[in-house]
Amino acid sequence: MNTNPKKPNIVVLGAGAVGCYFGGMLARAGHHVTLVARAEHVAAITQHGLHMDCQSFQEYVAVSASVDLAVVAQADLILLCVKSPDTTKTIEAIKPYLQKHTAIVSLQNGVDNGERICAVVSNPVFPAVVYVATIMAGPGRLKHLGRGELAIGQSPGNHNEVGAADQLTALAKLLTEGGVPCVVSPDIRKDQWSKFLVNCSYNAISAIGQLTYGKMVQTEAVRVLINQLADEVVSVAQHQGIALTHQEAQKANDMIPQTMPGQLSSTAQDLARKKPSEIEFLNGLVVRKGKEYGIATPANQSVYALVKMLEDAQALC
């Protein structure tokens, strides 16, 4: 990322609920932000601004929006918010436009997006762990349901390790001053797996039942299933050298219905809109790694299979 005193040009790729929240917060703080989003969102934002219905304010925020990936040519910083299945093709599509100094921060679910980005481009790449509950309430209309902070760190596949610490510090400062609390994680892989564990524990169940986190945990059998899913994820993580304990997993999972009770998972939102989900990069990844390592993952296999069934049924309609 260009570290000169001028404010950087920021492009948010895949500006859905997460991208609109963080891009909107930075635009509200005076940064030059361009949201690259679906045509209906771009039209509404261009005409009215981004409507942000947040816990601490409700207003229209003036921000640029486009459907054209070529806008990344002017970017000093890219916030990558596309779905995990779209990571590689998106990076390949923007590669001809990227400047060498442009930093890419992955605000995505999953644990391997950073490495997949680094396999395509040599730009500085930083994975982020996202803690926010948001939904799109309509074209150009964001609703914030809870939290809103980030942790960022160094990608294992980063080609630009020299100076990465300074870049991370500068990024965290920029985001925090822009209204997005951000810390530099000393162990981003563990933080990623902790968030990944929560996604694997909650997303598929929320999708299958089309229930918010607060409602789904009211069923005792679901609470048992959440723990089973988490135990399997911890086993896979530990096999990969991630220092994640079952006690830490329990604590992380217990927090979710308390801090995000009204959140419907991104997987549930995808199915409700009849869109492909990220299940292959969540519970599907746990199942594949379990087979590779000889670790049984029956709970993850079950919810993975059910979400795949629902996706396939929608595709036939």
Same domain? 169 vs 208: no
Neighbours of 93 (CB within 10 A): 15
Residue 160 is predicted with a pLDDT of 61
Q: What is the CA angle 256-270-15, rounded to 5?
A: 85
Domain boundary residue, one of 155, 186, 217: 186
Same domain? 176 vs 36: yes
Question: How large is the angle between the packed helices 246-259 and 220-239, nearest 10 degrees?
Answer: 130
Please say if the pLDDT value at position 3 is more than 80.
no
Each residue of 228-274: pLDDT tens digit?
999 999 999 999 999 999 999 999 999 999 988 988 999 999 999 99
Same domain? 93 vs 120: yes
Q: What are the residues whose beta carbons fall under 8 Å from the beta carbon of 316, sequence distance 6 or more?
A: none
CB 69 within 8 A of CB 78: no
Residue 308 is predicted with a pLDDT of 97
Same domain? 132 vs 201: no
High-pLDDT (> 90) share of the chain, %: 90
Please say if the pLDDT value at position 315 is more than 90.
no
Each residue of 272-282: pLDDT tens digit?
999 999 999 99
Neighbours of 55 (CB within 10 A): 12
Q: What is the CA angle 169-173-175, rounded to 5?
A: 120
Residue 72 is predicted with a pLDDT of 98
Please say if the pLDDT value at position 2 is more than 90.
no
- 82: domain CATH number is 3.40.50.720
2, part of any domain:
no
Same domain? 44 vs 100: yes
Residue closest to 144 by CA, chosen among 58, 252, 41: 58
Residue 259 is predicted with a pLDDT of 87
117, part of any domain:
yes
Residue 268 is predicted with a pLDDT of 96
Q: Which two tokens stand for residue 281?
A: 């990069």
Each residue of 202-229: pLDDT tens digit?
999 999 999 999 999 999 999 999 999 9
Residue 233 is predicted with a pLDDT of 98
- Give residue 274's domain range: 189-316
- 267: domain CATH number is 1.10.1040.10
In this prediction, residues 11-25 reach a mean pLDDT of 97
Q: Residue 1: which pLDDT band, with cuts at 50, 70 and 90?
A: low
Q: Residue 4: which pLDDT band, with cuts at 50, 70 and 90?
A: very low
Say which range, 12-16, 53-57, 157-161, 256-260, has the weakest mean pLDDT: 157-161
In this prediction, residues 11-21 reach a mean pLDDT of 97
What is the tally of structural domains in the chain?
2
Domain boundary residue, one of 169, 186, 203: 186
Residue 159 is predicted with a pLDDT of 60
User: Which DSSP string do the residues of the chain spell out, in sequence order?
Assistant: ---SSSPPEEEEES-SHHHHHHHHHHHHTT-EEEEE--HHHHHHHHHH-EEEE-SS-EEEE--EEES-GGGGGG-SEEEE-S-GGGHHHHHHHHGGG--TT-EEEE--SSS-HHHHHHTT--S-EEEEEEEEEEEEEETTEEEEEEEEEEEE---TT-S--TTHHHHHHHHHHHHHHTT--EEE-S-HHHHHHHHHHHHHHHHHHHHHHT--HHHHTTSHHHHHHHHHHHHHHHHHHHHTT----HHHHHHHHHHHHHH-TTPPPHHHHHHHTT---SGGGTHHHHHHHHHHHT---HHHHHHHHHHHHHHHHHHH-
Residue 47 is predicted with a pLDDT of 97
3, part of any domain:
no
Residue 133 is predicted with a pLDDT of 87
Same domain? 165 vs 45: yes
* More confident position, 291 or 154: 291
Q: Residue 158: which pLDDT band, with cuts at 50, 70 and 90?
A: low
In this prediction, residues 188-213 reach a mean pLDDT of 96
Same domain? 45 vs 167: yes
Given the structure tokens 């001809």, which residue do they identify?
A: 96
Residue 155 is predicted with a pLDDT of 77
108, part of any domain:
yes
Residue 162 is predicted with a pLDDT of 60
Residue 113 is predicted with a pLDDT of 95
Q: Phi and psi of 265, rounded to 5°?
A: -60, 155
Domain boundary residue, one of 131, 156, 186: 186
Same domain? 156 vs 252: no
Please say if the pLDDT value at position 288 is more than 80.
yes
